[in-house]
Amino acid sequence: MADSRYESTFIIKGSLEDKDVEPIISKAEDFIKKNGGSIIEIERWGRRKLAYTIEKETQGVYVSAHFTAPGALISRLERMYNLDENVIRFLTLAMPESAVKGRVAMKKRAEEVAAKREAAGQAQEAAL
C-alpha cells in the first residue's frame, strides 16, 4: 500500500523559551522518520497569540509538518502529541492531491509577491 501525504500542525506552549522549542520539533520529526514516514517540509510559523486561553497559555509556537507515511503512523503520532505536556493542541489532516497542488501554487505566488516587493524596495533605495 502506498504512503499517503499528511499535514500535521501542532502548537507548543508559548511560555517555553526558544531553545526549548526546537527539541520538541525535532522529536516530532524523528518520530515520523523512525515510524516509516518521510518528511517533506517542516514549517515554523513562530510564536503567535492564541484565539483563546489553552491550559493557562495565551501564546503558542505553531509548527506544521508535511510528510508522507503509512496510515497507521497517524494514531501513534497523535498519541505522542498527547503524551507531550508541551504540545497543547494538534491537528493532522490527510492531504488529497488537489490540496497539494493548491498549496504548491499558493507558495509559488507568495514567492513571486515577495520578489516583487524586494525589487520595489531596492528600486526605491536606488532612487534615493
Domains in the chain: boundaries? 4-95, 96-128
The rounded distance, in Å, linking the Cα atoms of 44 and 111 is 17
Exposure letters 87-105 (e unless 16+ CB within 10 A, then b): bbebebeebeeeeeeeeee
Computed from CA positions of residues 51, 55, 60, 66, in that sequence, does the dihedral angle turn out positive or negative?
Answer: negative
Q: Which residues pair with 90 in a beta bridge?
A: 10
The rounded distance, in Å, linking the Cα atoms of 12 and 28 is 12
In this prediction, residue 2 has a pLDDT band, given cuts at 50, 70 and 90, of low
pLDDT of residue 75: 94
Top-tier CATH class for 4-95? alpha beta
| Amino acid identity at 62 | Y
pLDDT of residue 7: 94
In this prediction, residue 6 has a pLDDT band, given cuts at 50, 70 and 90, of very high
pLDDT of residue 117: 84
Average of per-residue pLDDT across 79-83: 96
Strand ranges across the sheet with 38-54: 38-54, 57-69, 4-13, 87-94
Residue with cell 501513534: 76
Q: Which residue has the higher pLDDT, 126 or 13?
A: 13
